[in-house]
Amino acid sequence: MNYQGILSDIYNESVKKQERGEVANYIPDLAQIDLNKFGMALVDEKGTLYTCGDAKEQFSVQSISKVLTLSLAFRLVGDDLLQRVGVEPSGDPFNHLSLLEQEQGKPRNPLINAGAIVVADILVSQLKNPKETFLEFIQNIANDPSITFDTKVAQSEKKTGFRNYAAAYLIKSFGNLENDVDTVLDFYFHQCALRMSCEQLVNTYYVFANRGKCLQNNPYLDLAQVKRINAIMLTCGFYDEAGEFAFEVGLPGKSGVGGGIVALLPDKFCVATWSPGLNPKGNSKLGMEALEKLTTKTRLSIF
Amino acid sequence: MNYQGILSDIYNESVKKQERGEVANYIPDLAQIDLNKFGMALVDEKGTLYTCGDAKEQFSVQSISKVLTLSLAFRLVGDDLLQRVGVEPSGDPFNHLSLLEQEQGKPRNPLINAGAIVVADILVSQLKNPKETFLEFIQNIANDPSITFDTKVAQSEKKTGFRNYAAAYLIKSFGNLENDVDTVLDFYFHQCALRMSCEQLVNTYYVFANRGKCLQNNPYLDLAQVKRINAIMLTCGFYDEAGEFAFEVGLPGKSGVGGGIVALLPDKFCVATWSPGLNPKGNSKLGMEALEKLTTKTRLSIF
Amino acid sequence: MNYQGILSDIYNESVKKQERGEVANYIPDLAQIDLNKFGMALVDEKGTLYTCGDAKEQFSVQSISKVLTLSLAFRLVGDDLLQRVGVEPSGDPFNHLSLLEQEQGKPRNPLINAGAIVVADILVSQLKNPKETFLEFIQNIANDPSITFDTKVAQSEKKTGFRNYAAAYLIKSFGNLENDVDTVLDFYFHQCALRMSCEQLVNTYYVFANRGKCLQNNPYLDLAQVKRINAIMLTCGFYDEAGEFAFEVGLPGKSGVGGGIVALLPDKFCVATWSPGLNPKGNSKLGMEALEKLTTKTRLSIF
Amino acid sequence: MNYQGILSDIYNESVKKQERGEVANYIPDLAQIDLNKFGMALVDEKGTLYTCGDAKEQFSVQSISKVLTLSLAFRLVGDDLLQRVGVEPSGDPFNHLSLLEQEQGKPRNPLINAGAIVVADILVSQLKNPKETFLEFIQNIANDPSITFDTKVAQSEKKTGFRNYAAAYLIKSFGNLENDVDTVLDFYFHQCALRMSCEQLVNTYYVFANRGKCLQNNPYLDLAQVKRINAIMLTCGFYDEAGEFAFEVGLPGKSGVGGGIVALLPDKFCVATWSPGLNPKGNSKLGMEALEKLTTKTRLSIF
């Protein structure tokens, strides 16, 4: 497959686009990003890397990090995790807290904010130095010690993330949060504030396309875990647009409000896009389109 | 009307009751109360006081205080209050936060927790020393400087009131809270922790039966304000049992999880009951029954 | 009290108004009404009638009829009615069916459509000739055999009332409807299609202001029943604007999308207004304002 | 892959199971089924058929038919279908009508009842003889003219399917149903009453594993359509257990309350199971377990 040619075509089509969506403005530090950025990276089953555009520029991965905390929690507590968080799509644009209240503090899945907060609580309980250990976990998978948190973004979210506080306190009121809200959210805001480039993202998420082994062939997850995490990404990875992404793209993946998306085809490739403009559902507009083009041009998808 | 005879009859019927409901257990300091307590006080239009049972014993008024903070806020900001909180019944047992989320942070009415938190925020913004000024306001109406907060109960709620934190942060996320969540809830937990007896309650709430003037004939609210506060009590004063209370009792009133209820018939009387056992909807079981008996025996109600 | 003078003042203020809301357009036969109609009638405790404007002109009473079917059902089955329908405000503008589904087919109260459909089902079960008997019941109370159904309006609603069919089938799916949906809705659409004038309305609803006795002093309901029906009107009579009406007007009452409103002060008066333009919540715009003026000018309300 | 050996192993493990769930009892004609039935069929990429147990016995496919009506509608109207029905998981066990009301009559996806009713409406509008043409469509794909409707089951559902009537009328009230409710539901109840065996199911659904071509190599759908229908099956095929099925099994599929499940791995195989006992979420208990075993034993899934 001529991945480089395909990426170049997509790049050329994408940079001409006028309609780029809008940058997330509720996190002050993200609102400054240049709307014209566009990058893409793909690593194939042999580990060969293909890139285009701003593939080396780091950005705030935000919710994309939820797959990584989930993976680490899965390693640490296994299926016990499923006692505290579900695996069903939430399918609801507006009412995240309503659903959480209705289901008595057990979040629908680990990729919505409430679910990721419970996963963060598990990591805080399990790890002595949660932030440090989590960062090392990623650096190891990616074989890249330069990956780090943007503490300024983390602080910014701590001051304005009232809805995450509301979710965490609601979960706590139902007895599904072991640690202090402030401690858990400090970890949560740091995980969201990870800075990575498209290249670093594919180097990391390659593990989910490669049956649990990283590019250096070290095992991080077993096959059953990888399958299940991929299944959660497919059904829950794009907020209330998960069905649409499965329908139009057909790959497990995860997006973040920083404008990044990572997706993968098991045994074939892992791909990441970055374009900061979001569509009304909070997913990168050009990124979604680029991945649609990729699966159309390659005729490859899980379906 | 032979109020003393009627109160004595109700007292005699009530103390025999075995089925007394259950004491609120989510506030540790309230869980200790003796389930056998029963008191009642009534002040008629001439200011004559009638009592029975434990009418002089103080208890935690909890949500009953919401009518008093509402009154003070009404005095301070008038109808501007209605920009930030509605006057419709919430009618919903479970989903207080769901409703709040759906209605974008504007609470349905000032007598549900979310609404009272917004009212507390208004008082915190308007007053230099909110707790002190609010306490004086009540002491003045009741002509009784011995009324005070139970700071131990307030502290207890501060440590366990996670759902109130969730509500406050959700309201703040929608921009409907001016002050810090901690500051507002500190005030809110103190207002709930007011200790008053049935006697003190009727001395205070007499103002709502007497067109805004207290027993000493000092004006605190104008007629339009009193009418409107009474209307809110009738439609919203008993959580999701407001319709039931209007249907069976037919008086404006307000209950609290400490087991108190206060109710009134304009131009006729103000009455308070205390029995700590709650029905499944969170209202005092014997108190509800006692008030039903009162309106049946007197054949008096607003309807 | 100079009721005639007050009505004349209200009339003069009302007819000048430009902002009159919009006529209900979802029932084709109601969409033709002249927006400039305005009438008002009041009968005081002595039975004296006061009128202004189009008080003698008949219109489609629509939901106002729900109080009358409720009264007849109450006479026939007493408190058993409460097994099948609640007495709590629904407080929800949009989600009537959601609530009904959530509460498993037991409507919140008898004055929302779903509740009135259950009441209609009770009447269909209890009566040999439900439509005829119901009509006679009203004619007798009003002492006016000219009151009748507008069968053209009833047919019109039968063809377009899909949401009422949805509600009835949902209720039936939960086992809370004894008869065929078509039979029940035939009755329901007829009751809504009653034609009455403001004069006829106050002659009928006087029974709720007069402790259950009509203008001819015949008893129809006992005091307990009247109190309870008045309580339901106050808490549930104006869709999701019930709190607002209690807050601003302070009388038990019921509105209909035909533009009519009836309200009453126990032992004092019964009043009806008609102005076909509705506010966004489906209540007559000028009617609401007229009743607000009435309670302001008379300084009379239940609170 | 030794599919026959794997099927035999699963069969032997399954028939020993005591816990078999419960037969759907809301459709009287289905309540009679023998709980001990168990069958399985698999057709691989070469078209070879493997079976075990009651694989040749016909049963009521119920909701499994929704994938076939969706396919036919997709052929007839293409993407226009997406104007009238979404592709997002509903994720909600209880509130199908609530969601429909909230989203103003546009069903979340074509595999919930409301969505399938809209698809049925499209077929009724597009086809002269919808039932006949739909049946022929299936007979052709399966190359099996013996497939037919069980009209007794269809009649049975017509008399008791009140909730489907409620959904259809609600959709119609929002203007998203072109034809009469009775006409549309007559078609809908017939499609659900299709009788097929596991063998017939895999012969039919092979088309979704084979890029749109049936076992006779005739094309019915193009690759883009097949991918999208598979995506919808994966995200929406198992009511509110879709995430669980993706998580545990990892195949696109569809279940029915008759106890059947069909699932497939693109380019590899199509499999069907039948066991009438349902788990609490309405999916065949042994069928779910059998498919979990299949993907564990074969180590094959889309993830």
Count: domains in chain B: 1
Q: D197 and D59 in contact (C-beta within 8 Å)?
A: yes
CB contact under 8 A, B97 and A101: yes
Nearest CA in chain A to D239: A88
Residues B197-255 pLDDT 10s? 999 999 999 999 999 999 999 999 999 999 999 999 999 999 889 999 999 999 999 99
Query: Is D234 in Cβ contact with A303 (below 8 Å)?
Result: yes
Residue B28 or residue A111, greater confidence: A111
Model confidence at D211: pLDDT above 70:
yes
Which residue from B minimizes the CA distance to A98?
B98
Give Cα separations from C295 to B43, B223, B232, C3, C237 (angstroms).
27, 12, 17, 11, 17
D302 interaction partners in chain A (CB closer than 8 Å): 266, 302-303
- pLDDT at position B1 over 70: yes
- The yes-or-no answer on residue C239 being catalytic is yes
- Write the residue in A94, A166, A173 that is nearest to B170 by C-beta: A166
Residue ranges of chain B whose CB lies within 8 Å of a chain A CB: 94-98, 101-102, 162-163, 165-167, 169-170, 172-173, 181
pLDDT, chain B, mean: 95
Q: Give the pLDDT of residue B138.
A: 98
* B147 three-class SS: coil
CATH number of the structural domain spanning residue C287:
3.40.710.10
pLDDT 10s digits, C110-119: 999 999 999 9
Report helix, strand and coil shares of chain B as percent, to nearest 5: 50, 15, 35
Domain that holds residue A125: 3-298
Residue A94's pLDDT is: 55
Tell me, what's the pLDDT at C143? Answer: 97
Domain presence at residue A197: yes
Share the mean pLDDT of chain C.
95
pLDDT at B95: 64
What is the per-residue pLDDT across A215-241, written as a single tens digit (0 to 9) for each? 999 999 999 999 999 999 999 999 889
Under 8 Å CB-to-CB from D154, ≥6 apart: which residues?
D186, D189, D190, D192, D193
Suggest the residue from C81, C82, C100, C227 to mutate for an interface test with chain B (most B CBs closer than 10 A).
Answer: C227
Which residue in the set D95, D172, D181 is minimally distant from C101, CB to CB? D95
Q: What is the pLDDT of residue D30?
A: 80
Answer yes or no: is pLDDT of C134 > 80: yes
CB contact under 8 A, D91 and A87: no
CB contact under 8 A, D303 and A252: yes
Q: Which of A24-28, A127-131, A169-173, A297-301 has the lowest mean pLDDT?
A: A24-28
Active-site residue (options: A11, A50, A220, A239): A239
Q: What separation in angstroms does the CA of A118 have from each of A66, A112, A178, A205?
A: 11, 10, 9, 22
Q: What pLDDT sits at residue B271?
A: 98
Cβ distance of A165 and B167 shorter than 8 Å: no
Residues 6 or more apart whose Cβ sits within 8 Å of residue A162? B169, B170, B172, B173, B181
Confidence band (pLDDT; 50, 70, 90) for B93? low
Pick C242's closest partner by Cβ from B88, B92, B230.
B88
pTM: 0.95
Whether D26 is catalytic: no
Show which residues on chain B lie within 8 Å of chain C, measured between beta carbons.
86-92, 108-109, 223, 226-228, 230-232, 234-236, 240-244, 246-248, 250, 252, 266, 299, 301-303
- Hey, are the CB atoms on C226 and B108 less than 8 Å from each other? no
Structural contact between residues B206 and B214, judged by C-beta atoms closer than 8 angstroms: yes
- Whether D303 maps to a domain, the answer reads no
Q: How far D103 CA sits from the closest chain C CA (Å)?
A: 11
pLDDT tier at C31 (50, 70, 90 boundaries)? confident
* DSSP secondary structure string for all residues of chain D: --HHHHHHHHHHHHHT-S---B---SSGGGTTS-TT--EEEEEETT--EEEEESTT--EE-GGGHHHHHHHHHHHHHGGGGGGTS--S----SS-HHHHHHHTTT--S-TTSHHHHHHHHHHHHHH-SSHHHHHHHHHHHHHT-TT-EE-HHHHHHHHHH-HHHHHHHHHHHHTT---S-HHHHHHHHHHHHTEEE-HHHHHHHHHHHHTTTB-TT--B-S-HHHHHHHHHHHHHHTTGGGHHHHHHHT-S-EEE-TTSEEEEEETTTEEEEEE---B-TTSSBHHHHHHHHHHHHHH-----
Contact D235 A234 (CB under 8 A): yes
Q: Which of D235, D294, D295, D301 to mutate to test the interface with A (most CBs of A within 10 A)?
A: D235
Contacts of A97 in chain B (CB under 8 A): 97-98, 101, 166, 170
User: What number is the average pLDDT over the span C200-218?
Assistant: 97
Backbone angles phi, psi at B33, to 5 degrees: -60, 145
Which chains neighbour A (Cβ–Cβ under 8 Å, 3 or more pairs)? B, D
- For residue A78, tell me if it sits in a domain: yes
> What per-residue confidence (pLDDT) applies to A95?
64
Are A98 and B95 a contacting pair at CB < 8 A? Answer: yes
pLDDT at B28: 76
Asked if B188 is an active-site residue, the reply is yes
Q: Considering the domain boundaries, does residue A214 fall inside one?
A: yes
**How many residues comprise chain C?**
303
Q: Do A243 and D299 touch (CB under 8 A)?
A: no
The reported pLDDT for the residue numbered C95 is: 64
- Residue C2, judged by CB atoms within 10 A of its CB (0-12, 13-18, 19+), counts as exposed
CA atoms of C242 and C136, how far apart (whole Å): 30
- Whether D97 and C167 lie within 8 Å, measured CB to CB: no
Which two three-digit tokens encode residue A142?
Answer: 């990616």
- Is residue B303 included in any domain, yes or no? no
> Is residue A92's pLDDT more than 90?
no
Q: What is the pLDDT of residues A146-197, one digit of tens each?
A: 999 999 999 999 999 999 999 999 999 999 999 999 999 999 999 999 999 9
Q: Which amino acid is at C210?
A: N
Say yes or no for a CB contact (<8 Å) between A242 and D92.
no
Known catalytic membership, residue C46: no
Report the chain A residue with the minimal C-alpha distance to residue B173: A162
Decide if B236 is inside a domain.
Answer: yes
User: What average pLDDT does range D258-285 have in this prediction?
Assistant: 96
Q: What is the pLDDT of residue D108?
A: 93
- Alpha-carbon distance A122 to nearest alpha carbon in chain D (angstroms): 21
pLDDT above 70: residue B119 = yes
Of A3, A66, A184, A268, catalytic: A66
Q: Of the candidates B231, B240, B303, which has its C-beta nearest C247's C-beta?
A: B231
Tell me: the pLDDT tens digits for B254-300?
999 999 999 999 999 999 999 999 999 999 999 999 999 999 999 99
Q: Which residues make Cβ contacts (< 8 Å) with residue A67, sequence separation at least 6? A: A111, A205, A208, A229, A233, A237, A254, A262
d(CA D3, CA A205): 33
Closest CA to B113 of A92, A169, C234, A103: A169
Top residue of C103, C113, C164, C169 to mutate, by most chain D CBs within 10 Å, is: C169
pLDDT at D25 over 60: yes
Catalytic-residue membership of B257: yes
The tens digit of pLDDT for each residue in D72-125 reads 999 999 999 999 999 999 876 656 888 898 889 999 999 999 999 999 999 999
Is residue D10 domain-resident? yes
Helix pair angle (A66-77, A198-209), 10° resolution: 40
CB contact under 8 A, A303 and D89: no
Task: Taking residues B43-55, report their average pLDDT.
Answer: 97
**Residues B158-181, mean pLDDT to the nearest whole number:** 96
Question: Please, are residues D35 and D159 in contact by the beta-carbon 8 Å criterion?
Answer: no
Given the residues D3, D50, D188, D206, the one annotated as active site: D188
Answer whether residue C94 shows pLDDT above 90: no
What are A63-91's pLDDT values in tens digits? 999 999 999 999 999 999 999 999 999 87
Q: Which residue of D has its CA nearest to A211?
A: D303
Q: How far C296 CA sits from the closest chain B CA (Å)?
A: 9
Residue B208 lies in a domain: yes
Nearest CA of chain C to the CA of B292: how many Å?
A: 12
Q: For residue C80, what are the CA distances in angstroms to A171, C86, C119, C284, D216?
A: 40, 11, 11, 33, 64
Nearest CB among D89, D223, D247 relative to A91 is that of D89
Contact: B235, C230; criterion CB under 8 Å: no
Q: Is the pLDDT of residue B94 over 60?
A: no
For residue A94, the tally of other CB atoms under 10 A from its CB is 12
Reply yes or no on whether the pLDDT at D39 is more than 90.
yes
Tell which residue, A91, C111, C149, has the closest CA to residue D96: A91
pLDDT band for A127, please (50, 70, 90 cuts): very high
Active-site residue (options: C197, C239, C254, C262)? C239
